[in-house]
Amino acid sequence: MQVKSGVKNRLHAKIRAHLYLRAILTGMEDLASYSQEARDLTRGWHFALKIGVIGGPSTTLVFDDGMIRRSVGPKKRPFGMKLNVRYATYNQFNRFFEGKIFFPPLFTGNLLHLFKLKKIGKLAALLTHYLKPEAAALEDRAFLRRHAQMTLHALIRSTVIVSGLDPIAQAALDHFPEGLAVFGIEGQEGVVWVRSLKGQLLEGFGQTPSALPDVRVIFSKPEIVCALASQKLDTQAAIGKGLLRIEGFAPLADSIGLVMERVGEYL
Amino acid sequence: MKLFERAARVIPAGIYGHSSPALTVAGEFPYFASKAEGCRYVDVDGREYIDYMCAYGPIVLGYKHPEVEAAAQRQRRDGDCFNHPTYLMVELAERLVELVDFADWAVFGKNGSDMTTWATQVAREFTKRKKILKVRGAYHGWHAWCTIGHGGLMEEDRAHVHDFLWNDLDDFHRQIKKYRNQIAAIVMTPFHHPAFGDSVLPNSGFFKEIEITCRREGIVFILDDVRAGFRLHLGGSHRFFGFEPDVICFSKALGNGYPISAALGRKELEIAASRVFLTGSFWNNAVPMAVALACLQVLEREKSIAHMQRMGELLMGGLHELADKHGIPVRCSGPPSLPFLTFAEETNFYRSQRFAAECVKRGIFFHPHHNWFLCAAHQPKDVQETLQKADAAFEVIKETFKM
pLDDT at A129: 93
Contact between A114 and A47 under an 8 Å Cβ cutoff? The reply is no
pLDDT tens string B46-99: 999 999 999 999 999 999 999 999 999 999 999 999 999 999 999 999 999 999
pLDDT at A1 over 70: no
pLDDT of residue A47: 86
In percent, the amount of chain B with pLDDT more than 70 equals 100
A258 interfaces chain B, CB cutoff of 8 Å:
yes
Residue B367 is predicted with a pLDDT of 98
pLDDT bucket at A5, cuts 50 / 70 / 90: low
| More confident: A79 or A93 | A93
Average pLDDT in the B143-162 region?
92
The pLDDT of residue A4: 62
What residues pair up with A87 in beta bridges, in sequence order? Answer: A53
pLDDT at A172: 84
Provide, as residue numbers in chain A, all residues whose Cβ is less than 8 Å from the Cβ of B150.
258, 261
DSSP collapsed to 3 states, chain B: CHHHHHHHHHCCCCCCHHHCHHHCCCCCCCCCEEEEEECEEEECCCCEEEECCHHHCCCCCCECCHHHHHHHHHHHHHCCCCCCCCHHHHHHHHHHHHHCCCCCEEEEECCHHHHHHHHHHHHHHHHCCCEEEEECCCCCCCCCCCCCCCCCCCHHHHCCEEEECCCCHHHHHHHHHHCCCCEEEEEECCCECCCCCCCECCCCCHHHHHHHHHHHHCCEEEEECCCCCCCCCCCCHHHHHCCCCCEEEECHHHHCCCCCEEEEECHHHHHHHHHCCCCCCCCCCHHHHHHHHHHHHHHHHCCHHHHHHHHHHHHHHHHHHHHHHHCCCEEEECCCCCCEEEECCCCCCHHHHHHHHHHHHCCEECCCCCCCCCCCCCCHHHHHHHHHHHHHHHHHHHHHCCC
Looking at residue B402, its pLDDT comes to 85
Residues of A whose CB is below 8 A from B5: 241
Note whether A240 contacts B14, CB cutoff 8 Å.
yes
Residues 183-212 of B with CB under 8 A from A: 195-196
The shortest CB-CB distance from B348 to any of A245, A249, A258 is to: A249
* Residues on chain A touching B8 (C-beta within 8 angstroms): 234, 237, 240-241
Average pLDDT over residues B95-123: 98
The band of B327, judged by pLDDT with boundaries at 50, 70 and 90, is very high
Task: Encode pLDDT of B257-316 as tens digits.
Answer: 999 999 999 999 999 999 999 999 999 999 999 999 999 999 999 999 999 999 999 999
Residue B244's pLDDT band (boundaries 50, 70, 90)? Answer: very high
pTM recorded for the entire structure? 0.93
| Cα angle B192, B194, B195; round to 5 | 155
Asked if the model's pLDDT at residue A158 lies above 60, the reply is: yes
What is the mean pLDDT of the segment spanning A36-51? 91
Inter-residue contact B254 to B248 (CB < 8 Å): no
Does the distance separating the beta carbons of B31 and A234 come in below 8 Å?
A: no
Cβ neighbours of A178 in B, within 8 Å = none
Residues A124-135 have a mean pLDDT of 92
What ipTM was predicted for this assembly?
Answer: 0.93
Q: How confident is the model at residue A211 (pLDDT cuts 50, 70, 90)?
A: confident
Cα–Cα dist B241/B254, whole Å: 20
Q: Which residues, at least 6 apart from B309, have a Cβ–Cβ distance to it below 8 Å?
A: B335, B336, B337, B374
Least confident of A103-117, B46-60, B115-129, B290-304: A103-117
pLDDT at B155: 87
Q: Is A187 left (phi over 0), alpha (psi -120 to 50) or beta?
A: left
A82-87 β-sheet, strand order: A67-71, A58-64, A46-53, A82-87, A106-109
Q: What Å distances lie between residue B48 and B37, B315, B357, B364, B370, CA to CA?
A: 10, 19, 14, 8, 21
Task: Quickly state the pLDDT bin for B170 (edges 50, 70, 90).
Answer: very high
Under the banding of pLDDT at 50, 70 and 90, the label for residue A2 is low
* Interchain CB contact of A236 with B (< 8 Å): yes
pLDDT at A73 over 90: no
**How high is the pLDDT of residue A104?**
78
**Between B13, B27, B195, which is nearest A242 by CB?**
B27
